[in-house]
Amino acid sequence: MPTSEYDGNGNGLTRIEVGDDEEGHPTVKAQTIDELHSLQKKKSAPSTPKGTFPASNSVFTEERNKQQLESISASLASLTRESGPKVVKGDPAARKFEGSRVEHVPHQILTPTIAVSDSALKFTHVLYNLSPAELYEQAIKYEKGSFITSTGALATLSGAKTGRCPRDKRVVKDDVTKNELWWGKGSPNIEMDEHSFMVNRERAVDYLNSLDKVFVNDQFLNWDPENKIKVRIVSARAYHSLFMHNMCIRPTPEELENFGTPDFTIYNAGQFPCNRYTHYMTSSTSIDLSLARKEMVILGTQYAGEMKKGLFSLMHYLMPKRQILSLHSGCNMGKGGDVALFFGLSGTGKTTLSTDHNRYLIGDDEHCWSESGVSNIEGGCYAKCIDLSRENEPDIWNAIKFGTVLENVVFDEHFREVDYTDKSVTENTRAAYPIEYIPNVKLPCVGPHPKNVILLACDAFGVLPPVSRLNLSQTMYHFISGYTALVAGTEEGIEEPKATFSACFGAAFIMLHPTKYAAMLAEKMQNHGANGWLVNTGWSGGSYGCGNRIKLSYTRKIIDAIHSGSLLDAEYKKTEIFGLEIPNKVEGVPSEILEPENTWSDKQAYKDTLLKLAGLFNKNFETFTIGENNQVTEEILAAGPIIGDA
């Protein structure tokens, strides 16, 4: 029964006794709405490593949090001040934060020392290794242009930049890197000095420290446990944090507790521009890499792909030092353990063809080939979304769900259904998702030595065969060339096919001279008996605008024949000019399209176009010098097109 109580003024108030509801279920044990909300979440289960402070876990957890914050404060330290910023874990919008705080972390002082600034008087709130659900909440609440799509993915905008800015990438040239890296004509490495890097680093760190909160991800690169790299990403957007959560290898709680000092750190201050008056700057955007400091700074671009590919550049430097070949390739494995590598530039089908529901996916983009086999560098996939369909790419389609980041896509304003054909924001729409979203992923993402090395080219000139068997020298030649073709509509002003060459099928990311990677690939292929193939996913029966794109179903049949080994038993015919060996038959593929000349009605136009493309190959190869071994030089040059035989 209700009873009466009196307030301080003697007024009678009715107190309701809390008991069971009408169906006998206990009611909530809360007196206020805030108390009710506090019951909604519970602490994650502790994950203390075995043998570490088992009897005093709370003390250990406090100490662990303090050590993590000290490490993060040190990462965010301005090098012209006495200490790192004050940091505390937790969202500044929340009412409570985790217990640990770090006031300042002293470090070596570089003169001149600047007096205490306003940012030194505040706490920077650290959102550390948040879960996808937490990052969704941050993005939806605080980042304009963030929406949940009908399949549960997070749609975001990358701002003014919807792709990478290779002309704004800089690498510090010092006494070591000036001799180790590839500089000059054809190289992607544009130099900057250490002072200019430090100016940009200071600008990025000051910007990040001025914010109420920053996102910090501690993660790994490379699934090979013997060659794992620890990376820390400090960013200002939940979008960037979720992107890297998906793309890097996610640590277990135990690994996170023992993470320690990172091997490499990214400072992503992409919402803030660089100072165009800084030496070596040519725009308000700059992506700067210091191999000596093991740091990367991003200013003036919010495109998340800069982080992914910046780390790839790092691996292209670190891994060859360990005699490990870093590769811009897809990789999958058959049920019998046969591994295939897929090389190809954007639009060649590398991601599509390496994602095969009949085979285990090791990775779609970045790999290492060591003495123990292949390993994926990443923990996720970054797939192009333009014209994506369930019919053509079911695995990628089904991977776009909760946790996936969708970049720059257009969707229905009411139902939030994505229109993958819409290019209103950009043609470079992307999906970033954890690799385990692919149902047939191989976990851990490692495999034995490759059996097949497949070089993909989207030949819009229509003169390369749908498939060719390559000898070792030809594989090296086409690997160094890295050919594909752009077509009208992909870039402004293109009215006919335009050949593009990217050394090692990833010139924008390699750090050493292409021939060093090619020599390592040749050695590994020879040592482990791998076969080389050139597959054209482009045009047949004429160039772009006249011929037709080779059907994806035909290309899949060709790839299936490579995997099964049946193509090794086929009869081959050698083509003129390029000297490529083409099979007379591939099961499921019309035989008439296997030899390109057969599909052209105008035979003279075919020969003219073939000679034109051969000339472009030869001109491109003039960029490269093939080391000191003249025999290797002659062998590889001879593997290219020979116009004199026409």
Residue 20 — pLDDT band, cuts 50, 70, 90? low
Q: Long-range contacts for 183-186 (Cβ within 8 Å, ≥24 apart)?
A: 185/623, 186/503, 186/507, 186/623, 186/624
Cα dihedral 425, 426, 427, 429 sign: negative
The answer on pLDDT for 632 being more than 60 is no
Helix axes 305-321, 514-528, angle to 10 degrees: 70
Token output for 27: 């009611």
Residue 480 — pLDDT band, cuts 50, 70, 90? very high
Question: Residue 227 has what pLDDT?
Answer: 97
Question: Residue 416 has what pLDDT?
Answer: 97
Torsions phi, psi for 370 (to 5 deg): -110, -175
DSSP string over 11-25: -EEEEPPP-B-TTSP
The answer on pLDDT for 271 being more than 50 is yes
Q: Does residue 607 have an active-site annotation? A: no
The answer on pLDDT for 436 being more than 60 is yes
Question: Residue 96 has what pLDDT?
Answer: 54
Between the two ends of the chain, the Cα-to-Cα distance in Å is 105
pLDDT tens across 35-87, in order?
766 666 666 654 433 333 344 566 667 787 888 888 888 888 887 765 678 88
For residues 314 and 296, what is the distance between their CA atoms, to the nearest angstrom?
9
Report the candidate in 359, 358, 355, 347 with the shortest Cα–Cα distance to residue 380. Answer: 355
Kindly name the residue from 125, 245, 430, 451 that is annotated as catalytic.
430
Give SS3 for 638. helix
Token output for 58: 């709370």
Q: Does residue 309 have an active-site annotation? A: yes
How distant, in Å, are the alpha carbons of 186, 294, 584, 609 from that of 572? Answer: 35, 50, 6, 23
Kindly name the residue from 351, 484, 515, 575 that is annotated as catalytic.
351
The answer on pLDDT for 575 being more than 90 is yes
Residue 121 — pLDDT band, cuts 50, 70, 90? low
Looking at this protein, which amino acid is placed at residue 639? A
For residues 6 and 462, what is the distance between their CA atoms, to the nearest angstrom?
91
The answer on pLDDT for 288 being more than 60 is yes
Question: Residue 63 has what pLDDT?
Answer: 81
Strands of 471-618 (E only): list them. Answer: 483-486, 498-501, 531-536, 539-540, 548-549, 572-574, 581-583
Torsions phi, psi for 315 (to 5 deg): -65, -30
The answer on pLDDT for 303 being more than 60 is yes
pLDDT tens across 218-233, in order?
999 999 999 999 999 9
Contact between residue 409 and residue 432 where contact means Cβ atoms under 8 Å apart: no
pTM for the full predicted model: 0.86
Kindly name the residue from 81, 86, 125, 350 that is annotated as catalytic.
350
Q: Does residue 430 have an active-site annotation? A: yes
Kindly name the residue from 81, 164, 232, 469 that is annotated as catalytic.
164
**CATH class of the domain whose range is 325-370+449-646:** alpha beta
Kindly name the residue from 80, 346, 564, 633 that is annotated as catalytic.
346
pLDDT tens across 356-408, in order?
888 999 999 999 999 999 999 999 999 989 999 999 888 899 999 999 999 99
Please state the domain extents for the chain. Answer: 325-370+449-646
Q: Look over the chain and give the mean of its residue pLDDT values, rounded to a whole number.
A: 87
pLDDT tens across 543-565, in order?
988 899 999 999 999 999 999 99
For residues 123 and 81, what is the distance between their CA atoms, to the nearest angstrom?
16
Q: Does residue 250 have an active-site annotation? A: no
Average the pLDDT over each of 105-114, 258-267, 315-324, 478-487 and give the range with the smallest value: 105-114
Cβ neighbours of residue 229 closer than 8 Å, sequence gap 6 or more: 220, 221, 222, 263, 264, 314, 315, 318
Looking at this protein, which amino acid is placed at residue 334? G
Question: Residue 106 has what pLDDT?
Answer: 45
Kindly name the residue from 81, 213, 309, 442 that is annotated as catalytic.
309
Question: Residue 169 has what pLDDT?
Answer: 96
The answer on pLDDT for 114 being more than 80 is no
Kindly name the residue from 168, 356, 365, 560 that is annotated as catalytic.
365
- For residues 646 and 283, the model is more confident at 283
Average the pLDDT over each of 89-93, 372-376, 436-440 and give the range with the smallest value: 89-93
For residues 551 and 537, what is the distance between their CA atoms, to the nearest angstrom?
8
pLDDT tens across 304-363, in order?
999 999 999 999 999 999 999 999 999 999 999 999 999 998 888 888 888 888 899 999
pLDDT tens across 150-163, in order?
999 999 999 999 99
Question: Residue 50 has what pLDDT?
Answer: 39
The answer on pLDDT for 107 being more than 50 is no
Q: Does residue 241 have an active-site annotation? A: no
- DSSP-assigned letter for residue 311: H
Token output for 99: 């217990």
Q: Does residue 365 have an active-site annotation? A: yes
Kindly name the residue from 64, 89, 316, 328 that is annotated as catalytic.
328
Question: Residue 18 has what pLDDT?
Answer: 47
Q: Does residue 164 have an active-site annotation? A: yes
Q: Does residue 322 have an active-site annotation? A: no
Question: Residue 5 has what pLDDT?
Answer: 45
Question: Residue 91 has what pLDDT?
Answer: 85
Question: Residue 54 has what pLDDT?
Answer: 44
For residues 349 and 549, what is the distance between their CA atoms, to the nearest angstrom?
12
For residues 183 and 320, what is the distance between their CA atoms, to the nearest angstrom?
17
